Amino acid sequence: MTRQDGGAGHKPRRWIAGTAAVAIVLVVGISLLVSGVLSGEEPAATVLTTSPAAPPRPVEDWYDLTTYQTIESGAGHETLESISIGVGKEPFARGIRGSGGSSATQSANFRTWSTAGRCTRLSVWIGKDAASAQTEGVGQFVIRADKAEAVTRQASIADAPQHVEVDISDVDRLTLLDVRGGRDAANAWGTPRVFCSAPPGKSV
């Protein structure tokens, strides 16, 4: 009887064909790898792209004006660590005293800061300096938004502190100006501060 499998020492034809196919694939792959190395070609690099990080949002906060440099000022203003105003019982932390003779046309008591549209609100208390050696006179307090007078108030040493809050959203130059006669009680600005997305100048 004739054997159909080619005998015990022979492999089936399908196994031989599969082995030959694998060998061909290996030879082709090795040839392509060797060809790339010999030609000096480098494998393509994988490039990772990332979107640029968004800039941090400005942090809005209150800034004490007395701790920042002015862009213009007169000789009659001085900064105090605290100041009492008129008949008010509690002193204000940080303040400005206007003790020089100052008029609307010849202003000595003033300071100007660059808010440059970064600030939206001004908050300040005004009145006469309770510790002033003089006790007479009525002081005038002017807040200028650029060149316009945004607020004008008056006060004597017998008056209570007056709180003033002003919208300065579109203001580039903010000025605090006070007017007094040479023999009048000194003027006072208590805790002048602005609400801004960035400081109103360099630190003093």
| pLDDT, position 24 | 43
DSSP-derived 3-state class of residue 172 = coil
Q: Which of 102, 126, 122 is nearest to 113 (CA)?
A: 122
Please tell me the predicted confidence (pLDDT) of residue 82. 97
87 assigned to some structural domain:
yes
Would you state the pLDDT for residue 42? 54
What are the pLDDT digits (tens) for 85-97? 999 999 999 999 9
174 located within any domain: yes
How many structural domains is the chain composed of?
1
Predicted pLDDT of residue 5: 47
**What is the residue range of 134's domain?**
61-196
* DSSP assignment of 18-55: HHHHHHHHHHHHHHHHHHHHHHTPPPPPPPP--PPPPP
Q: What is the pLDDT of residue 111?
A: 97
How remote is the C-alpha of 16 from its chain's centroid?
77
CATH number of residue 166's parent domain:
2.60.120.1060
Tell me, yes or no, whether 180 lies in a domain.
Answer: yes
Residue type, 181: G
144 within a domain of the structure (yes/no): yes
The answer to whether position 167 is within a domain reads yes
Distance (Å, whole) CA 100 – CA 137 = 13
- pLDDT value of residue 49: 58
Residue 45 lies in a domain: no
Predicted local confidence at residue 57, as pLDDT: 63
- 142-151: per-residue pLDDT in tens? 999 999 999 9
In a domain, 2, yes or no: no
Residue 191 inside a domain? The answer is yes
| Residue pair 99/186 in contact by the 8 Å Cβ criterion | yes
CA distance 126 to 155: 8
CA-CA distance, 200 to 204, in Å (whole number)?
Answer: 11
Average pLDDT, 10 consecutive residues per value, the chain (204 residues): 46 47 42 45 55 67 97 96 97 96 88 95 98 95 96 97 97 96 95 97 94
